[in-house]
């Protein structure tokens, strides 16, 4: 039993550290090639990597804080918790925007270059951060209005730092709004792309590629949205058995938060033909010298 807690920490922290390294290599690969660095599609992918990496890092820190029972000033704990929430909201929004980019590329190919530009990608990222931060600013306003506890009070930092029921209600409201909006956009763009591709010539040997791209976005979205289930699961029925509740929460933490955030960017990055050789080259420290398909600047 004494070794159980360190083993659990290692089982959750080591995958996080490994995939943080993978994401860092992906970001470096994107920045190393001008063609990738200046493409709106890869700018959005790089932002997805950044958001997922931020959530992985903060989730890992919050888990370690909860296990070690570390005490810190309230405002620091609140800042870390809410920043993790913003990163959590960013990923599905980013996937929805990536689906819109593919929708414009396939359904309006002649207007794609004018609509999807580097500037528009920057605007989209700014809008995503604004929308993702609505939850944070609402909680901050309620905290200042409803609670009189000082921000400098030492407390054990954990995920459920907000105690009042109104915080849970607000969080669930924003979560449902994000879920419905992102699913609506993703499903609409996927159906529109499939209809457009089906109406194209059946002799086009690339006609199946848009299907696969949109299906990949849906798979990524499903992986991303599984993290919502972790907050929705209630453990009231397990109050009589706290040990069992802790084990179930740990398994769900690994399966619904850590694993999806690790797999989602990796699946997309390895599938992309332009990005994959660049990533593998840097990931293997240049040992893949036979790769000759680097995008030219």
With contact defined as beta carbons under 8 Å apart, do 154 and 69 qualify?
A: no
Phi, psi of 155 (to 5 degrees): -150, 160
Structural domain contains residue 288 = no
Which residue matches tokens 């930092």? 157
Structural domain contains residue 290 = no
127 pLDDT exceeds 90?
Answer: yes
Residue 277 lies in domain? 4-240+247-283
Which has more confidence, 283 or 289?
Answer: 283
Q: How confident is the model at residue 120 (pLDDT cuts 50, 70, 90)?
A: very high
Residues 38, 42, 45, 49, CA torsion sign: negative
Structural domain contains residue 25 = yes
Structural domain contains residue 297 = no
252 pLDDT exceeds 60?
Answer: yes
CATH of the domain at 140: 1.20.1070.10
Q: What is the pLDDT of residues 48-78, one digit of tens each?
A: 889 988 988 888 888 888 777 778 787 888 8
Q: What is the pLDDT of residues 200-248, one digit of tens each?
A: 655 455 455 666 666 666 676 676 666 665 555 555 545 566 666 666 7
For the whole model, what pTM was predicted?
0.82
Structural domain contains residue 53 = yes
Distance CA 70, CA 220 (A): 34
Structural domain contains residue 292 = no
Phi, psi of 146 (to 5 degrees): -105, -25
Q: What is the pLDDT of residue 192?
A: 85
Phi, psi of 72 (to 5 degrees): -145, 170
Q: How many domains does the chain have?
A: 1
Structural domain contains residue 289 = no
Structural domain contains residue 94 = yes
Strand, coil or helix: what is 1? coil
**Contact partners, residue 98, CB within 8 Å, separation at least 6:** 41, 44, 45, 48, 217
């Amino acid at each position: 039993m004494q070794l159980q807690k360190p083993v659990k920490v290692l089982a959750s922290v080591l995958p996080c550290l490994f995939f943080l390294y993978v994401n860092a290599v992906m970001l470096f690969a994107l920045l190393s090639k001008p063609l990738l660095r200046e493409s709106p599609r890869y700018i959005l992918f790089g932002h997805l990597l950044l958001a997922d990496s931020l959530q992985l890092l903060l989730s890992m820190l919050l888990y370690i804080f909860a296990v070690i029972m570390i005490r810190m000033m309230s405002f620091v704990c609140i800042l870390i918790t809410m920043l993790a929430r913003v990163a959590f909201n960013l990923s599905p929004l980013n996937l929805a925007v990536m689906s819109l980019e593919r929708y414009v590329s396939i359904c309006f190919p002649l207007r794609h270059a004018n609509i999807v530009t580097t500037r528009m990608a920057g605007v989209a990222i700014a809008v995503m951060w604004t929308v993702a931060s609505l939850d944070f600013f609402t909680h901050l306003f309620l905290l200042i209005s409803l609670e009189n506890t000082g921000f400098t009070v030492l407390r054990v930092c954990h995920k459920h730092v907000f105690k009042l029921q109104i915080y849970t209600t607000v969080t669930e409201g924003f979560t449902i709004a994000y879920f419905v909006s992102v699913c609506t956009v993703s499903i609409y763009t996927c159906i529109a792309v499939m209809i457009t591709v089906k109406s194209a010539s059946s002799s086009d040997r690339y006609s199946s590629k848009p299907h696969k791209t949109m299906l990949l976005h849906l798979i990524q979205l499903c992986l991303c949205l599984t993290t919502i289930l972790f907050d929705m699961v209630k453990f009231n029925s397990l109050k009589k058995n706290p040990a069992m509740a802790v084990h179930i929460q740990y398994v769900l933490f690994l399966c619904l938060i850590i694993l999806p955030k690790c797999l989602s960017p990796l699946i997309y990055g390895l599938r992309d033909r332009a990005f994959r050789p660049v990533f593998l080259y840097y990931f293997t420290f240049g040992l893949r010298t036979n790769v000759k398909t680097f995008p030219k600047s």
